[in-house]
Amino acid sequence: MRTSSAIALLSAVIAPHVAAQTSTSSSATTGSTTAAESPVTGKLGNATVVENNPPGIVYQATLPDTAFAKSAYPDGGNVKGQLTAVASPDGMGVIFRVQFSKLPKTGGPFLYHIHVDPVPSDGNCTATLAHLDPFIRGETPACNSSLPQTCQVGDLSGKYGKIDKDPFEVTYVDQFASTLEGIGAFFGNRSVVVHFANTTRITCASFAQVANGDGGLPASSGCSAESATSSSCSSTGTGVLAPTASSNLTTPALSTGGARPTTTGTASPSPSQAVVSAGTSVRLGSAAGVIAFAAAIMFML
């Protein structure tokens, strides 16, 4: 069970990178392009890859108990679930863990997006405004998920797939959304909205920071966000991520208030190091390097 989860996770994390590489090489070798092939991008161009996300800061948006679209749950209740997000250890892109269940029986496949504004205290999902779209692409036509840089930054279901099963769980790395405050792609002060297929808003939740940038690792442990992928770390932190060196996919380490030690003491070469030293791809290397983090999130929740 854990092994198969880890494998699914591995594919989920690496697939977008492979897709990106494929699209880069194919566009580079395109000789004669027809107009139909050139994708719609933002008025300000394609979304840019954010390379300096502060690692370790975890943001979470948890759906409320009551739906905004009351008609979707005549007897009360709501979609259950959350988005959890943390920057990749190398600061390139953000790992998203998406978990939804108890969706309405009809009206799918469901969509979900990061919206510009947070949810006001009255829970009004309309007030979250439109999708996060700093490059001004617009919602239509729907973007090509093979070219996520051409999509609205906040269009997560457009880039990584609609909610087509219940429960729905997926983990991926998005290169464009950011945990870096001050830039348009920053989502920590915004919200996520779940929609019917016809875009009617079912429910929404604001992101909140649930762990800080030092990854919850105590200064005295010799661990840091930077060293976390290359050395063993333990944590007495407050229930946050503590990736281990070995990147042992079947045993991601996590900290639960210091109750559990997270180190095994032996540092075997990580997938990240193996891939990089094989010289195949730095991007693949960084993808592999985030697996411990993604796995830690997965098992933390």
Ligand X SMILES: *[C@@H]1O[C@H](CO)[C@@H](O)[C@H](O)[C@H]1NC(C)=O
Q: Residues 6 or more apart from 36 whose CB is under 8 A from it?
A: none
Cα three-residue angle 161-174-121, rounded to 5 degrees? 80
Report the residue number, 182 or 265, with the smaller CB distance to ligand X: 182
What is the three-class DSSP state of 286?
Answer: helix
What's the CA gap between 291 and 271, in Å, rounded?
A: 9
DSSP state of 69: S
Q: Which of 71, 238, 277, 280 is close enough to bind ligand X by CB under 6 A?
A: 71
What's the CA gap between 236 and 265, in Å, rounded?
A: 17
Among the listed residues 89, 86, 126, 119, the one whose alpha carbon sits nearest the alpha carbon of residue 211: 86
The interface with ligand X within residues 216-245 (CB under 6 A) comprises: none
Of the candidate spans 89-97, 152-160, 176-184, 278-286, the one that interacts with ligand X by CB under 6 A turns out to be 176-184
Among the listed residues 191, 200, 209, 197, the one whose alpha carbon sits nearest the alpha carbon of residue 157: 197
Site string for ligand X, 25-44 (x = CB under 6 A): --x----------xx-x---
- Backbone region of residue 196 per phi and psi (left: phi > 0; alpha: psi in -120 to 50; beta: other values): beta
Q: Is 248 in the site for ligand X (CB under 6 A)?
A: yes
Provide, rounded to whole angstroms, the least separation between the CB of residue 232 and ligand X: 12
Report the residue number, 120 or 238, with the smaller CB distance to ligand X: 120
Q: Is 189 in the site for ligand X (CB under 6 A)?
A: yes
SS3 content of the chain, % helix, strand, coil (to 5): 25, 20, 55
Provide, rounded to whole angstroms, the least separation between the CB of residue 212 and ligand X: 17
Q: Is 46 in the site for ligand X (CB under 6 A)?
A: yes
Q: Is 247 in the site for ligand X (CB under 6 A)?
A: no
Among the listed residues 129, 137, 136, the one whose alpha carbon sits nearest the alpha carbon of residue 190: 129
Provide, rounded to whole angstroms, the least separation between the CB of residue 250 and ligand X: 5
Provide, rounded to whole angstroms, the least separation between the CB of residue 5 and ligand X: 14
Q: Is 181 in the site for ligand X (CB under 6 A)?
A: yes
Q: Is 4 in the site for ligand X (CB under 6 A)?
A: no
Looking up tokens 């991007």, which residue turns up? Answer: 283
Site string for ligand X, 103-142 (x = CB under 6 A): ---xx---------xx-----x-xx---------------
Report the residue number, 70 or 238, with the smaller CB distance to ligand X: 70
Q: Which long-range contacts (C-beta less than 8 Å, at least 24 apart) are formed by 165-168?
A: 166/100, 166/101, 166/102, 166/103, 167/81, 167/99, 167/100, 167/101, 168/81, 168/98, 168/99, 168/100, 168/101, 168/103
Provide, rounded to whole angstroms, the least separation between the CB of residue 220 and ligand X: 26
Q: Which of 21, 268, 277, 280 is close enough to bind ligand X by CB under 6 A?
A: 268
Contact criterion met (CB below 8 Å) for 116 and 128: yes
Report the residue number, 5 or 144, with the smaller CB distance to ligand X: 144
Return residues touching ligand X (CB under 6 A).
Answer: 23, 27, 38-39, 41, 45-46, 71, 106-107, 117-118, 124, 126-127, 144, 146-147, 149-150, 181-183, 186, 189, 196, 198, 200, 246, 248, 250-251, 268
